Amino acid sequence: MSALDTNPIDVNGIKSDMRTLFARKRMMNFGLPILVLLYLVYVFFAFEVPALWAKADMENAKTLVSDSYSYKTHVTRDNRNGAVSIAIEGERKGAYAEGTSPEWVSLGETTVIDLEDGHEVRFGSETIEYDIPGYGTVQATPSRSQGIQAELPAGDVPDFINLSRNRMTIKTDAGRLTVTRNRSEVFRYFAGWELFFFTLDSDYHGLSFGQVMGKAVSGEAGAILSDIWNNKMWRHSDVAWALAETLLMAFLGTLGAGIIALPLAFLATRNFMPIKALRFATRRLFDFVRGVDSLIWTVVLARAFGPGPLTGALAILVTDTGTFGKIFSEALENVDQKQIEGVQSTGAKPIQRYRFGVVPQVTPVLLSQLLYFLESNTRSATIIGAITGGGIGLLLTQAIITQKDWEEVAYYIVLIILMVIVMDWFSGWLRRRLIQGK
């Protein structure tokens, strides 16, 4: 026979507890978002976002974007001697031979540059003229002693003309004209990556795809591939080697870190290392090497060993050794002891117990992490290469620093993305083959 609980229920106490519980819920549901919002407002002003936005130059941004998918041809007049030169992107490697020009430039005593739609620039013996439809003709006479003497149509100076004593710049949709004391230059933009396959001095420049294929079939395939591979402007051979260096840094760093971290991981586990002091020291070592970012290790190692791709690989190795050591030691602490005891019952020695009782259990985790970090380090090697002087990262940094050939920047970025995509596919395929057996 059970006893009845005759104590009265504290209804008021229960209501008070419920009110407290609901108050906490409301505070979490409404108070936390408000705190996050206040923090974002603080960040907005602390990082001076309004001032940053005020400094933004949308015209420069538009120019940068257009430069990434287009190229410009420079028509340059030396105001000191009247010599006219034409070059794609203004590079010597993309210069037209003396006396030759694209069809929209007519060389002569007066060089006529047809920018289409009525826009025309004329380089005379002394005066530069630009016919602008809907506005009129702008004349500029450069002089080393008096600067730029400009004559504009009557009225206010429009926004697309920037005029000072020593410089005149005209920007229109058709192109751009810049006149200084020493030089006059016209820029005309075209869509695409010019000279990507063949430079101006190549026998195959200007030929259609069908004509090139016809020559390849007739026995000139080797010469065609050689011209593409040794392109002096796009440097395809150098880019391919840089990609190989980037992959080499990622592979050597990741594989080396895995080889070093695996035996050290046994020293950091409770079930394999009974000496507490050694276990503590190993774990702190892992914390130290992975606590310092790979970029910091890159700077330190580059100072010690000099620049080069192997220095980048060593920086990845040092950082990933700490990360792998932690991951591998955690996997080793969670192994099934019954399998180890089963191997031990056969009379196996300690090394054999590790080989046949432990390693098969942790192999899927080890391979999965190695392959994931190999894919991740492919991206990291790009930045590390910019510091150590190797790989595609160095070429990308050089192209950005020049502030000129943004189509090359776009080219390198596309290659990096494709490299990461290929590595992602390869690591996934290899993971399925090694771990799942498919």
Rounded to an integer, the average pLDDT of 308-320 is 89
**Closest to 394 measured CA to CA, from 385, 406, 384, 381:** 385
Supply the pLDDT for residue 14: 67
Residue 313 has a CB neighbour count (10 Å cut-off) of 27
User: Using an 8 Å Cβ cutoff, are 95 and 86 in contact?
Assistant: yes
> What CA–CA distances, in Å, run from 387 to 147, 301, 308, 412?
43, 11, 9, 17
The band of 3, judged by pLDDT with boundaries at 50, 70 and 90, is low
Select the CATH number that applies to the domain covering 236-436 from these four: 3.30.450.20, 1.10.3720.10, 3.40.720.10, 1.10.274.10: 1.10.3720.10
The DSSP letter of residue 97 is P
Please state, in angstroms and rounded to a whole number, the distance separating the CA atoms of residues 407 and 190. 12
- pLDDT tens-digit series, residues 101-117: 999 999 988 999 999 98
Residue 183 has a CB neighbour count (10 Å cut-off) of 13
What is the share, in percent, of the chain residues with pLDDT greater than 70? 93
Please state, in angstroms and rounded to a whole number, the distance separating the CA atoms of residues 107 and 72. 19
Task: Give residue limits of the domains in the chain.
Answer: 70-191, 236-436
Q: Collapsing DSSP states into helix, strand and coil, what is residue 112? A: strand
Please state, in angstroms and rounded to a whole number, the distance separating the CA atoms of residues 392 and 235. 12
Supply the pLDDT for residue 93: 85
pLDDT above 90 (res 178): yes
Supply the pLDDT for residue 236: 92
- pLDDT tens-digit series, residues 136-164: 999 999 988 888 888 999 888 888 899 88
User: Using an 8 Å Cβ cutoff, are 394 and 242 in contact?
Assistant: yes
Could you tell me the two tokens for 406?
């943004």
Please state, in angstroms and rounded to a whole number, the distance separating the CA atoms of residues 320 and 328. 11
